[in-house]
Structure 1
Amino acid sequence: MAKRTNVRWVVAGLLIALFIGALDVTVVSTATKHIIADLKGTSLFSWVFTIYTLTTCVTTPIFGKLTDLFGRKIVFLIGIVLFILGSVLCGFAHSMTALIFYRAIQGIGAGALNPVCFTIVADLFTGEKRGRMMGVFASVWSIAGLFGPLVGGYFVDQVSWRWIFFINLPLGVLSLLFVATCLHEKFDRQRKSIDYAGAATFTVAITALLYAILSGGEKIAWNSAAMFALLAVSFVFLIMFFWIEAKAKEPMIPLSLFRNRVMNVSNLSGFLSFAISSGVTIYAPLWIQSIQGHTATQSGLLVMPMTLAWPLAANLVGRYMYRLGIKASVVFGAIVVLGGSVWLATLGAASPYWYWIGIMAIIGFGMGFCSTPATVMVQSAVGFESRGVAMSTNSLIRSMGQTIGVAVFGTIFNHYVLSDAAPAADLVDGMHAIFALMLAIAAVHLLAVVFLPRHKKVMAGQVS
């Protein structure tokens, strides 16, 4: 990066961008009732969330590769403009179909925000400073998780649900101005070869897979011909994608990334750990409300210990992981997550509320110790020319872990709970089965991170 870059203001702009992207994940759910009442189209409403997830996941690695080809700044600016445009259009939507279309635009923009923000930070900082900044940036998701319901609730109750989208305009413009005026990068402007075939086959493969996962068990039966057709399309196009990548001059996702042990273990860690975190945040409130009879407010507050412990651990490990050892930090986090999962699996219907507080705090603390070093390792395992695609691939795999995890947990739950009027015993059995699977995933996760190279080897392989 050029010396003229004003790091402080660039970081501020990136934090704002990351915040509005993270906020959007939680704030929309608070307005569900009001959006349906205003726009109708109840049967389509799930697509407001589905299309956002789908477009974000599909575009994340594409944007990641573009940052390596054309520079971080231009791709970030395109992403933030698309996100702002999509947000404003969502605010003006007058039908559910229009809202879904505009959410797709917003999701495309969001596909650039997370990986490109972390890639720019990796370019600006090295060594221990990079670890500290990753801790700070990891905190944004937790802060957004805390403020999302509050912000959404305020606008929905006091103004209009449309303002949960309009609020992104001033914040997004501020972020755009900070980065556009303060980030100065030197980038090779020679003609680049774009992997159009790879991007096209990847888009079809991931779209078919995500549509199958997000629709499975609800819109499409898992054992139906339509489901098998979607999975077959995904498999065929994924094979085509890897074949194309092996021959492409500038592959969208270089296959060499999958020959890097640090990358492989970090990606596997992200997939497994984020599957656990997504499952806990969904089924903990359900247990508290449906089995123990607590209020919706109490169940909502239950997620807070995780959202507080996660950034606390992320900041601690960001500061000290180079002293403690990167591998030791990740393994410690995996052990903590496993401990929380063991406690989770032993819960009974009469377990007190504070048990859940302890479980959520422990799992959140362990996640903070796992995710921050893993992110730094991914950033440091490759050079500047591949950092964007490495970060975006890691981000995609974490998202896939969340999506597939939720789908698998939902399928297990529906196997036990056959109707809305199911007895409490069925609910307990269904969630115990999910918690047992989470425990197994946590054990596999710990086993996986043990295969990370030792600290000295990780350090020796780092690229500034």
Structure 2
Amino acid sequence: MSKQTNRSMVTVGLLAALFIGALDSTVVSTASPRIIDSLGGLSLISWIFSVYTLTTCIATPIFGKLGDLYGRRLVFAIGLGLFVVGSMLCGLAGSMTELIWYRALQGIGAGALTPVTFTIVGDLYPGKERAKVQGIFSSVWSIAGLFGPLVGGYFVDYISWRWIFFINLPVGIIAIMFIFLYYHESFAKQKKAIDYAGAITFTVGMTALLLALLTGGEEYAWNSPVILVMFLVTVVFLGLFLWIERRAAEPMLPLSLFRNPVLNIPYILGFTTRWMVMGVTVYCALWMQDVSGSSATLAGLALMPMSIAWPLASTLSGRLMYRIGAKWLIIFGSVLVVAGSLLVAIMQAGSTYGLIVASLVLIGLGMGCIVTPSMVIIQGAVDFRMRSVATSTNTLMNSLGQTVSVAVFGLVFNSVVTADSPEQIANGIHAVFLLMLAVAVLNLVVALFLPPSSKLLNHQQ
């Protein structure tokens, strides 16, 4: 890394970029009613969320590989540039259809923000420093989740819903300037073999899978021909993708990553932990309003303790993982997640508000103890040339865990709830919480298979 790089200024730019990317995934929900009033298209409103998730998932590993091939700075700038342009177009959208297309472009850009940001941090900071800084960066998502609804509400009430997108322009431009002015990487220029076939088959297969998961059970029945065809396309094209990756000179997603226990266990944890996060985020608020009879405001406030506990634990775990050991910290976090999930699973209609808050605090603390050490382990297990794709693979596993869990939880909930009555809603949510507890236990069992801490951290430099 060039000595001219100003780590502090680069870090500020990266934090700003990551924050607007994280904020955009939460702030839009607050503005949904005003967007419908302005643009119409009530039946299409879910797609402004779904298409963003879809394009982000697909773009993430592609940008990750490009970061290894062409350098982090260039790929980061392209991704953030697409995000900023997409944000501007979203703010100018004249119809719901236009907004959906622009959200797709925004999602493609967002696919670069998280993996390339964390990769640059991994390049800039050596082992122990990296753990501390990654803890701070991991906190951004929780902070955005905490302030997103407040920021969105302010813009919607006092300015215009369009400013939830326009605000990304100045912040994004400043972040790009900081990266170009203060980040100087030395990158060897050589002829690159781009895995076009892998990128195409991955895009088609993942698009079919995500569309099936996002529309199944809602727009189409799970056994409908449309969903079955999408699952068939998924199997065929992802099968082709795996075949291609085994033979490609520069595979888009090196399969060797999944054969390394130092990597594949954290990847599995990245997938499973998102089940608990989505379970409490979606269904705890529903439980409080429809079962406990709390107000929407109180239900929203109940989620705040998790958003506070997570960044606190992320920051502390970054500082403690070299003292305690990464494996034991992740296991401790997994135990906390199990404990929190257990409290959620035993909730009754008359359970106190404090019980719900306690469960969310435990889950937030547990997530903070898992996420930061996992990221540091992943980046330390590969060399510089594969750090970006290794990091993006972890982001992809997080996104898949989030998307798959929402689909499965929805399937479980709808299979129980056949009538809109408080009793059936309570039974449906309870079934989701039991499944969430089972996944939390599985997550703990997987964590036990991590290699010893000495092997997990001996590559950190």
Same fold (TM over 0.5): yes
- Partners of 1:70 and 1:180 lie apart in 2 by 15
State how 1:29-40 maps to structure 2 within 5 Å.
Answer: 29-40=29-40
SS of residue paired to 2:186:
coil
Aligned residue in 2 for 1:384? 384
Query: Which of 425, 428, 450 is the equivalent residue of 1:427?
Result: 425
Aligned runs of 1:164-313 on 2, under 5 Å? 164-313=164-313
Give the superposition deviation at 1:409. 0.5
Secondary structure in 2 matching 1:19: helix
The equivalent residue for 1:146 is 146
Cα distance in 1, alignment partners of residues 284 and 162 from structure 2: 30
Q: Distance in 2 between matches of 1:114 and 1:355?
A: 33
Counterpart code for 1:423: S
* 8 A Cα contact 1:382 1:463, kept in partner: no
Distance 1:139 1:436 in 2: 28
Aligned residues: 461
Cα distance in 1 for partners of 2:220, 2:252 equals: 31
CA offset at residue 219 of structure 1?
0.8
Counterpart Cα distance in 2 of 1:45 and 1:346: 34
Secondary structure in 1 aligned to 2:218? coil
What is the CA distance between 1:418 and its match in structure 2?
Answer: 2.6
Residue pairs, 1:38-49, within 5 angstroms = 38-49=38-49
Give 1:295-334 correspondences, 5 Å limit.
295-334=295-334
Structure 2 counterpart of 1:439, from 434, 437, 440: 437
Q: Which residue of 2 aligns with 1:453?
A: 451
Identity %: 55
Counterparts of 1:9-20 in structure 2 under 5 Å?
9-20=9-20
SS of the residue aligned with 1:289? helix
Q: In the TM superposition, what is the alpha-carbon distance from 1:459 to its structure 2 partner?
A: 2.4
The superposition leaves residues 149-198 of structure 1 with CA deviations (integer Å, 9 ceiling, x where unpaired) of 11100010001100000000111111011011100001011110100000
Equivalent-residue separation in structure 1 for 2:281 and 2:398 (angstroms): 15
| Structure 2 counterparts to residues 358-437 of structure 1, below 5 A | 358-419=358-419, 422-437=420-435
Answer yes or no: is the 8 Å Cα contact 1:201–1:238 preserved in 2. Answer: yes
Contact between 2:84 and 2:106, CA under 8 Å: does it hold in 1?
yes
1:73 aligns with 2:73: yes
Cα distance in 2 for partners of 1:278, 1:380 equals: 28
| Structure 1 residues not aligned, in runs of 5+ | none
Moved over 6 A (4+): none
Give, in whole Å, the separation in 2 of the partners of 1:459 and 1:119.
17
TM-score, structure 1 as length reference: 0.98
Taking the aligned partners of 1:200 and 1:323, their CA distance within structure 2 comes to: 44
CA distance in 2, matches of 1:146, 1:345: 24
Q: Contact (CA 8 Å) 2:127, 2:460: kept in 1 or not? A: no
For 1:62, the equivalent position in structure 2 comes to 62
DSSP-derived class of the 1:449 partner: helix
Distance in 1 separating the partners of 2:308 and 2:190: 46
The 8 Å contact of residues 343 and 356 in structure 2, kept in 1 or not, is answered as: no
SS at match of 1:247: coil
CA drift of 1:463 comes to 5.1
RMSD of aligned C-alpha atoms? 0.8
> Does the CA-based 8 Å contact 1:115-1:392 persist in structure 2?
yes
Cα shift readout 1:298-325 (whole Å, capped 9, x = no counterpart)? 1111110000000110011100101000
Q: TM-score, normalised by structure 2?
A: 0.99
Is residue 87–residue 106 contact of structure 1 (8 Å, CA) maintained in 2? yes
Q: Offset of 1:279 from its aligned partner?
A: 1.2
Provide the C-alpha distance between the structure 1 equivalents of 2:457 and 2:352, rounded to a whole number of angstroms.
45
CA offsets 1:399-435 (integer angstroms, 9 cap, x no match): 100110011001111112234xx11110111111111
* Alignment partners' CA distance in 1, 2:321 and 2:327: 9
Unpaired runs of 5+ residues, structure 2, are: none
**How far apart, in 2, do the equivalents of 1:194 and 1:456 lie?**
36
Q: How far does residue 332 in structure 1 lie from its aligned partner after superposition?
A: 0.4
